[in-house]
Structure 1
Amino acid sequence: MVTKPDITKRQEQLLEELNKCDDELSGQELHRQLIIDGKSMGLTTVYRNLQVLIKHGLIRSRHLPTGEVLYTPVDRDIHHVTCVQCGTTSKMEGCPVKDINTPNKKPKKFQLLFHTLEYFGICQNCDQSQSKNQI
């Protein structure tokens, strides 16, 4: 059984904002949303607390080819395909690894919280642009 770690009020505010959103948010987007909601928090404090929430296993992060990092709660089983040329990202339908059986022998003192899966490639627009430039 997973026990929820003790988190601060600021960390709880970040979790609430992430749970309100249907998609992922960057640290800057979270910062802006907190300001809009009247919950002032410095940008550095936002990023510091996001790292704590990751270490607690409550949120996950995804790094885009642009260097931007997006955050979402771990209970969302969302996976993406990302174009390495233009950075366009699309959600995948379903989870291809959801039904894979985890090993019966789990390492001692290890509790699986979540998994990540991401595909990288060339989107249709970039592929067509490449084809036109080669002619």
Structure 2
Amino acid sequence: MSAPKTDSQQQILALLKQLNREISAQELYVELRRRSQSLGLATIYRALKALKLEGTIQTRTLSNGESFYSLAEAEQHYLTCLNCGKSILLENCPICQESAASREQEHFKIYYHILDFFGLCPSCQHQIHVES
């Protein structure tokens, strides 16, 4: 059973549910201020850390170090271009069956997993090929 949520955690969860997409901590800060729910950025980061540790939200970190947060309800996997930063959502997870077997064997409670592939999108491949 998880600990009771703080007001800041509840505000962040409500916003994530309403937006139903990934969002950075900076974007959360701006959006909460826009909605007259002013929280400090440090408070937002503390709330995000607590929510992540209990498995309520998940984090995806891009190659530039920026983190995006979303509800941990559904697994999402991406192809991310290292040149332009574009992320393409993969429809199917290639390791879901493996993780289920590992979870049972090790008696490990998995909240979520992240699978990202990094490379070059077709547009950037073409651009780099033309420039070389």
TM (normalized to structure 2)?
0.89
Partner residue of 1:129? 127
TM superposition shift of 1:64: 0.9
What's 2:75 paired with? 77
Paired with 1:94 and 1:5, the residues of 2 have a C-alpha distance of 33
Q: Which runs of 5+ in 1 are unaligned?
A: none
Query: As a proportion of its length, which structure holds more helix?
Result: 2
Tell whether 2:54 aligns with 1:53: no
Instruction: Name the structure 1 match of 2:39.
Output: 41
Corresponding position of 1:102: 101
State how many pairs are aligned: 130
For residues 131 and 31 of structure 2, the distance between their equivalents in structure 1, rounded to whole angstroms, comes to 42
* Percent of matched pairs sharing the same residue: 32
Aligned match for 2:24, one of 16, 23, 26: 26
**Worse-matched range after superposition: 36-45 or 87-96:** 87-96
Q: Which letter maps to 2:50?
A: V
Partners of 1:16 and 1:97 in 2: CA distance: 30
Q: 1:21 & 1:97 partners in 2: Cα distance?
A: 28
